[in-house]
Amino acid sequence: MNIVKLLFLSTLLLTFCGAFSQTDEELGLHSEGGAWSFFPAKEKNDSLKKVLLIGDSVMNGFHQSVIDSLKKCASVDYWLTPKHLKSEYLLEDLAAVVSSNKYDVIQFNIGLHGWPKGRILDHEYLPLLEKYVNTLIENANGANLIWASITPVTEEGNPVLNQEINPRIAKRNEWAAAVMKKYNIPINDLYSLVENKLDLAKLDRWHWKPEGYVLMADQSVKCIVQELY
């Protein structure tokens, strides 16, 4: 079974198992601009470096700019996923994705879909994230890793930080930074990049205007290039 079919079946199972609980859609979380799936680079070129992006619809907002910026030096695959740290088959899917190619650099993010109260308890976050990081390390064939921090959450219709959800995001970024330090993984701090630029937020709580995604893409490219060479 190829990786695309495996991830499709896993997503179907995840959807079915979540049918009796509050869904991401009910919570206002949604994919913006594309279906959840693994997307290999459109053009294969063995002479180029290989990069993988992992993230949710925020990553989806800037991935194409990263692909375009790196086209002369790297081919870029991306995994657009709504999974959070307690999602069923997360680690199996992660292992399948990162071992599907001999990547030079993997930039990964996970977190925005894990915010709902009770979904991931505070004392669970660090051990779950460490399991995720160790799965990456064990299956990534020596790729250099980059953690892209979780982006801020705004109030709906108002360019201010959401007082209910965002403190949880900020705290988890702080905890994640400690994990990345432990494993010597550099951080692409997307949170700090736009924390004081909320005029660039789309004000649906989660997503960003094109100008915000340009900033994220530019910073991601700098981080990736630094790890490529």
Question: Is 40 part of any domain?
Answer: yes
User: How does pLDDT run across 110-130, given as a tens digit for each residue?
Assistant: 999 998 889 999 999 999 999
**pLDDT at residue 44 is higher than 90:** no
pLDDT for residue 120:
95
Question: Is 97 part of any domain?
Answer: yes
What range does the domain containing 153 cover? 36-228
Q: What is the mean pLDDT of residues 36-44?
A: 88
**pLDDT at residue 66 is higher than 50:** yes
Question: Is 14 part of any domain?
Answer: no
The domain spanning residue 172 has which CATH number? Answer: 3.40.50.1110
- Are 46 and 101 in contact, with CB atoms under 8 Å apart? no
Share of the chain above pLDDT 70, in %: 85
* Alpha carbons 33 and 61: distance in angstroms, whole number: 8
Kindly report which listed range (19-33, 64-78, 88-102, 199-213) carries the lowest average pLDDT score: 19-33
Task: Name the residue among 140, 73, 70 with its Cα closest to residue 103.
Answer: 140
Q: Domain tally for the chain?
A: 1
The residue type at 6: L
pLDDT range class, residue 139, cuts 50, 70, 90: very high
Roughly what angle, to the nearest 10 degrees, separates helices 57-70 and 210-228? Answer: 60
pLDDT for residue 5:
52
* Alpha carbons 84 and 90: distance in angstroms, whole number: 8
Question: Is 111 part of any domain?
Answer: yes
Helix/strand/coil (H/E/C) assignment for every residue in the chain: CCHHHHHHHHHHHHHHHHHHCCCCCCCCCCCCCCCCEEECCCCCCCCCEEEEEEECHHHHHHHHHHHHHHCCCEEEEEEECCCCCCCCCHHHHHHHHHCCCCCCEEEECCCHHHCCCCCCCHHHHHHHHHHHHHHHHHHCCCCEEEEECCCCCEECCEEEECCCCHHHHHHHHHHHHHHHHHCCCCEECHHHHHHCCHHHECCCCCCECHHHHHHHHHHHHHHHHHHHC
Question: Is 184 part of any domain?
Answer: yes
Kindly report which listed range (21-25, 146-150, 178-182) carries the lowest average pLDDT score: 21-25
